[in-house]
Amino acid sequence: MYRYPRTVRSPSNLQQPKMRFIDTAIPLFVGLSALAEAQDVDFGKVYSVKPQLKSASNTGSSTSSVNTASTASSIVSVLSSRHAATMVPSGSSSSSQKSSSSAKASSSSKSSSSAKSSSASKSSAASSRQSLSSAQSSSSKLSSKSSSKSSSKSSSSVKAPTTLSTQKATSSTRQSSSSTSSKTSSSSAAATNLCPAVNNKDITDSKGKVYTIKCSSDTNVGSFTSKSATNSYTDCMTICDTTSGCVAFSYVGGDNGSGSGTCWMKNSAGSAIAAGKNYVAGFLKSATVNKGKASVSSSKKSSSSSKMATSSKKASSSSAKVSTSVKKVTSTSSKRSTSTSTKSSSTKVKRATATTCSNPNSILYNYAPSPNTPTQFLVDSTLAALSAAQWYPPAGYSTSFTGQFGGLFAPNYLGYQQLSSYNTSACAAYCNARSDCNAFNIYFERTPVFIPDDSCPSPNAAATITCALYGSSVDASTATNIGQYRKDFMVVIQGSNGYNLNPAPASVSSFQGPNALDAVAYSSGIYLAQQYFSTYDVTQCSAACTAYTAKSKSTAQSNKASTYSPCNYFNVFNLTLNGQSQMMGCYLFSTSDAQNYDTYRTAKGSDGTVYNLTNSYGYALYPQDKGLTSVTWSAAPTGTGASCASLGKAGDALIDYNTVNYTLGCGYDVQYSNDIGNQTTPDFYSCFAICDSGAYPGCSGFAYLGNTCYFKNLTGSSRTPQLDNYNVDMAWLPASYAGFGASTVAATVTFTTTTIAWTGASTTTVTSINGLQGTIIVETPGKVTAATTTTYVTTAIESGTASTIATQTIAPTGTGKTGTVQVIYPTPATTCGNKGALAGLYSNTFSNLQGTTSYPAFKPESFKTKTPYAIQTASYMGEYNYLKDTPTVYGKALTYAQASVLTLNHVFYLFAGHGTGYYSINLPRADDITLVWIGQNALSGYTRANANMLQTYVQGTPTPVTLAFFLSANTYTPIRVIFGNGAEVGNFQMNMYAPDGTQILGSNAGTNTGMMNPDIVQFPCDTTLGGKFAAFGKET
């Protein structure tokens, strides 16, 4: 056994680079004599070791070294013999046919019916992934040379090469036992609404909602909250029913969906992907009128696909949207299927003779060896070379075996994916995305271009690439699934490699990591030093990194320098020789950019000895040391201290360690918009550095959920953060985004003017706004053509009881008549005496000062402490008085003296009952001034300076002012409107429109009349949705 060196150099004696790269090997800056002395071996023997080839032998893995042609011949012979034992030519005796027919009906011939079912689905390839027939594991099993000597001489037995590891009897028994246990468990779950009985079936829950159930399945998109299930997965259905936006769920709990567990609610259904038997996925299908106990109905089976990618090791289920460098990877069904064949001649099947192929298979790689035969597939040098090139494991894995001719027959199978290239990193990404995955097997499979059936028994072949996932480590001894027949088509496998997930090294205080690297990092521009240790202990390397920084800073301070070279990143790895670890290497770097240079897989010593570099992991100092002698570095918050709640509360300012100013939005989110990318992180605070770094151009904020940062470009957005109940926190740059005041950011409304005829005697104009599109209709006297075809008019009904917007159509009574489309909108509760808007009437203390443009003398904040002489409930919004008029305003009769200096202070809430979108306020004219506040300032803190809208009197043609602001459906927004008349004639008009163009408020020009729909209330009845305005005269 090799021992690592006994002595380690101190940080002050760290070596600097003195060698150039040799070929593609990284320079090894340590003497071979030191290695030999530390290992107690003869120096000469070490020196004489030949440079190693790039093969898996140096990573402790096993490879195939048998005669390929002989192996191919043996595999084809075995599979052909088995197939022949189950087939009879057309025209066989009636007794044989009867036997065959009997076998079809027999429960012991499930393989035949299974094959039929498999051929009808593109996911049938799963049958060759994980299971062998009983013949494969018994009478026709491949055996090693030693075992074949004692085997009985049957017509179907073949002596297999020693590297085609056979499934040991004990292992086969264990697998069979496991299968039996599984069947027992399934049948013991007598309830018809538990798995596997309900797989691919529809279940109607107690609320009448229908869900399609997928057993042993998960869905990898749309998670937005989680809740506990008490009894079984069926609890998730009722939870989904009562959770807004839920269209699917994933249950993680007891086997077959029984017992307590966790329900992950999904706002996007996605597709089912294979998972363990303690997973159940449900997809909302439709509502039914039947209620009561859950009921089960049949549902057509469907193959589902899911695109899944990640850049993180162990992605969370609520995470969403991660990227990978893989060009194209398609998910297919991962159900395990076991085909069985019997020894009785009664199970023989008549050979099909038709040759019409019409059901194409899903093939991504689509390479076909020439000639296109099973034997040629097994000996094809192109496929073999692609497999052999992947001797080095992907990041975080070790190579277990390469070059086998069989897939794995191993426990803890988790499903498979079809790949578009032989890319071990892509396969590892799928494994990394599952917390229960610990190994994978990647191989080429000879696959039929069309799905074989009676009309297409032996179609042409192409190579597909399979990535099979496992929950436990794998080795070559279980790579015994050499293939099978599908009808008359032979499936064989070659280039089978296996990789096991490495145990991750320990985390280190003040450093982010470990992050698995594809190889060892090296870049001369940022490289600092290297060191070697006798044991794989990352704390030794972190200590060397810290010591390097301390010495560098001390030297700079002594020399009166303002900067120094800090150690901000280190890379640890194993230096291996002939599969044995020699030392732990430790490379130090000045920046975390080192992780982008992890391209070195070998190191060459001065004597020419080539070492493999394995188990490579990187650690980044957090935060990075800027190398300024005037600044004292301090660690960033981690763990619970890095949560949003630990850093402050919603609305608080925070300056991150890059001195960038943010506003916290703990418990808030800007949903379904502005996302520009996402990345997994250990905590909320880590998102700041990524947003600062420019990794996501345009980042001006982020939301954090389930260890994932969702970066957003919120610049100029008028969407306000909404209170979120699903553990989402956010933060934003106040310089780019107004946050809680975002709805008051003016959005441009574009107007279009059209002219139409109408029956009136004079020309008039009608203005309407739909979202950000406005229309000015100029109506001129003229002839209006009578309708000759059926037309429909849309009308609005404010229901008061609906929770969502609905429509109903009323057909016309005859040709040329008008039908009606009624849109039914939800309205706010008005059971607490809150209808309409409140208006305080004051005498304008700034009267006769309106002559200056924009009326600068008018200070609305001065009315905060003044008591109005009247308080009225407004059912519209507007005021008009001409010379000597004595108008009645909101039911209050005024003298001309009062009207000529009238100030109105309106307060109300707008309920967004017409859905999510842009609501708008239009001020046609003011005589003399109108100001509007929307949001928090309307409740408290309003001043002329922070008003969202300001309109003043203009001599001649008035200039309308319009503001659009974005609201989420069914929310309440506080609004304040103040109008002031400086003297004599007064004129105040105001209109408000919903996103669909419905008018919410309206003023009739020249009169003290107008309209107001039920969405205007003085305050919400539920005070948690919005507080009451302070009493007039006591405002702040």
For residue 643, is it within any domain? yes
878 and 977 share a domain? Answer: yes
- Of 991 and 885, the structure prediction assigns the larger pLDDT to 991
Residue 645 has pLDDT above 50, yes or no: yes
Mean per-residue pLDDT, 735-745: 81
562 and 650 co-located in one domain: no
Alpha-carbon distance 916 to 1005, whole Å? 30
Domain boundary among 591, 621, 651: 621
Residue whose structure tokens are 């037995």: 157
Confidence grade of residue 758 (pLDDT, cut at 50, 70, 90) = confident
CA torsion 404→406→411→413, rounded to 10°? Answer: 100
- 978 touches 930 (CB < 8 A): yes
Mean pLDDT of 842-868: 94
Report residue 686's pLDDT band, with 50, 70 and 90 as the boundaries. very high
Residue 653 and residue 665 in one domain: yes
Q: Are residues 986 and 843 in the same domain?
A: yes
Which range, 300-314, 861-875, 910-924, is most confident?
861-875
pLDDT score, position 402: 95
Reduced to 3 states (helix: H, G, I; strand: E, B; else coil), residue 149 is coil
Tell the residue number behind the tokens 């499936």, with chain if given. Answer: 491
- Of 118-132, 146-160, 825-839, 1018-1032, the poorest mean pLDDT is in 146-160
Question: 570 and 588 in contact (C-beta within 8 Å)?
Answer: yes
Residue 488 sits in the same domain as residue 451: yes
End-to-end CA distance of the chain: give it in Å, rounded: 80
Domain housing 888: 837-1025
Instruction: Look at 288 and 654; give whichever has higher pLDDT.
Output: 654
Strand partners, 398: 500
Burial code of 488-523, b = ≥16 C-beta within 10 A, e = fewer? Answer: bbbbbbbbbbbbbbbeebeebebbbbbbbbbbbbbe
pLDDT(20) > 50: no
Q: What is the CA radius of gyration of the chain?
A: 38
Mean pLDDT of the 168-184 span: 31
Q: How distant, in Å, are the alpha carbons of 365, 387, 505 from that of 428? A: 18, 15, 18
Higher pLDDT, 179 or 949: 949
Residues 431 and 492 in one domain: yes
Same domain, 562 and 701: no
CATH classification of the domain holding 873: 2.60.120.1560
Q: Which of 201, 205, 208 has its CA nearest to residue 236?
A: 205
The confidence score (pLDDT) of residue 321 equals: 32
- pLDDT, residue 875, reads 93
Does residue 671 register a pLDDT over 90? no
Top pLDDT among 156 and 550 is at 550
CA separation for the pair 363, 366 (Å, rounded): 6
Report d(CA 915, CA 739) in Å as an integer: 21
Q: Each residue of 272-310: pLDDT tens digit?
A: 888 778 889 999 986 443 334 444 443 333 333 333 333
Beta strand 602-604 with 26-27 is parallel
Residues 951, 1000, single domain; the answer is yes
Q: What is the pLDDT of residue 212?
A: 94
Domain CATH code at residue 669: 3.50.4.10
Task: Indicate whether 555 and 478 sit together in one domain.
Answer: no
**Predicted confidence (pLDDT) at residue 733 exceeds the cutoff of 60:** yes
Length of the chain: 1036
Within-domain flag for 202: no
Q: Within the chain, what is the greatest distance between any pair of CA atoms?
A: 122
Q: Which pLDDT belongs to residue 805?
A: 78
Q: Which helix (H) or strand (E) holds 921?
A: strand 917-923
640 vs 539: which has the higher pLDDT: 539
Contact yes or no for 430/469 (Cβ under 8 A): yes
> Do 331 and 476 contact (CB within 8 A), yes or no?
no
Query: Among residues 459, 480, 501, which one ends one of the domains?
Result: 501
For residues 868 and 889, is the Cβ–Cβ distance under 8 A?
no
* 877, part of any domain: yes
Q: Please say whether the beta carbons of 920 and 849 come within 8 A.
A: no
Q: Is the dihedral of CA 219, 225, 230, 235 positive or negative?
A: negative
- C-alpha span between 704 and 721 (Å, rounded): 13
Q: Bigger pLDDT: 271 or 140?
A: 271
pLDDT at 431 over 70: yes
- The Cα 228–Cα 414 span in angstroms is 24
pLDDT of amino acid 545: 97
Is 163's pLDDT higher than 90?
A: no
Using DSSP's 3-state secondary structure scheme, residue 1016 falls into strand
Residue 933 dihedral angles phi and psi, to the nearest 5°: -125, 135
- H or E element at residue 490: strand 489-501
The confidence score (pLDDT) of residue 780 equals: 82
Is residue 256 situated within a structural domain?
no
Question: 36-41 contacts: CB < 8 A, separation 24 or more?
Answer: 37/5, 38/3, 38/4, 38/5, 38/6, 38/7, 38/534, 38/583, 39/2, 39/3, 39/4, 39/5, 39/582, 40/3
Does 297 fall in a domain? no
310 found inside a domain: no
How high is the pLDDT of residue 332? 34
State the pTM of this model. Answer: 0.50
- In the predicted structure, residue 722 carries a pLDDT above the cut 70: yes
Instruction: Calculate the alpha carbon distances from 709 to 359, 679, 681, 698, 938 in Å.
Output: 43, 5, 7, 15, 33
Q: Of 454, 484, 501, which residue is a domain's last?
A: 501
One domain, residues 421 and 562 = no
| Tally of structural domains, the chain | 5
Minimum mean pLDDT among 57-71, 191-205, 214-228, 359-373: which range? 57-71
Q: Which of 265, 246, 249, 244 is nearest to 969 (CA)?
A: 244
Peptide bond into 17 cis (omega under 30): no
Same domain, 31 and 79: no
Q: Is 414 left (phi over 0), alpha (psi -120 to 50) or beta?
A: alpha
Question: Which residues partner with 447 through β-bridges?
Answer: 462
Mean pLDDT value of segment 772-782: 79
Residue ranges of E strands in 240-364: 248-252, 261-266, 273-274, 279-287, 295-298, 329-331, 349-350
Alpha-carbon distance values, 800 to 683, 695, 804 (Å): 43, 48, 11
pLDDT at site 972 = 93
Task: Return the beta strands (E) in 725-836 as ranges.
Answer: 729-732, 750-758, 764-770, 773-781, 791-798, 806-810, 818-825
Mean pLDDT for the stretch of residues 419-441: 95
And the tokens for 422?
Answer: 């032989």
Indicate if the pLDDT at residue 841 is higher than 70: yes
Lowest mean pLDDT among 29-43, 486-500, 614-628: 29-43
- Residue 190 tokens, joined: 């007598």
Q: Per-residue confidence at 787, pLDDT binned at 50, 70, 90?
A: low
Q: Is the dihedral of CA 241, 243, 246, 248 positive or negative?
A: negative
Is the per-residue pLDDT at 704 higher than 70? yes
pLDDT in the model for residue 745: 63
Tell me the C-alpha distance between 957 and 713, whole Å.
40
- Given a contact cutoff of 8 angstroms between Cβ atoms, the answer to whether 851 and 823 are in contact is no
How confident is the model at residue 116, as a pLDDT? 35
Q: Which comes out higher in pLDDT, residue 1005 or 150?
A: 1005
In a domain, 178, yes or no: no
- Does some domain include residue 568? yes
Q: Which of 678, 679, 623, 682 is nearest to 656 (CA)?
A: 623
Asked whether the predicted pLDDT for residue 200 surpasses 60, the reply is yes
DSSP letter, residue 507 = P
* 222-254 pLDDT per residue, tens: 777 778 888 899 999 999 999 888 999 999 888
Max mean pLDDT range (137-151, 155-169, 783-797): 783-797
pLDDT of residue 905: 98
**Higher pLDDT, residue 906 or 128:** 906
Same domain, 34 and 100: no
pLDDT band (50, 70, 90) for residue 78:
confident
Instruction: Give me the percent of the chain exceeding a pLDDT of 70.
Output: 73
Alpha carbons 1014 and 1012: distance in angstroms, whole number: 7
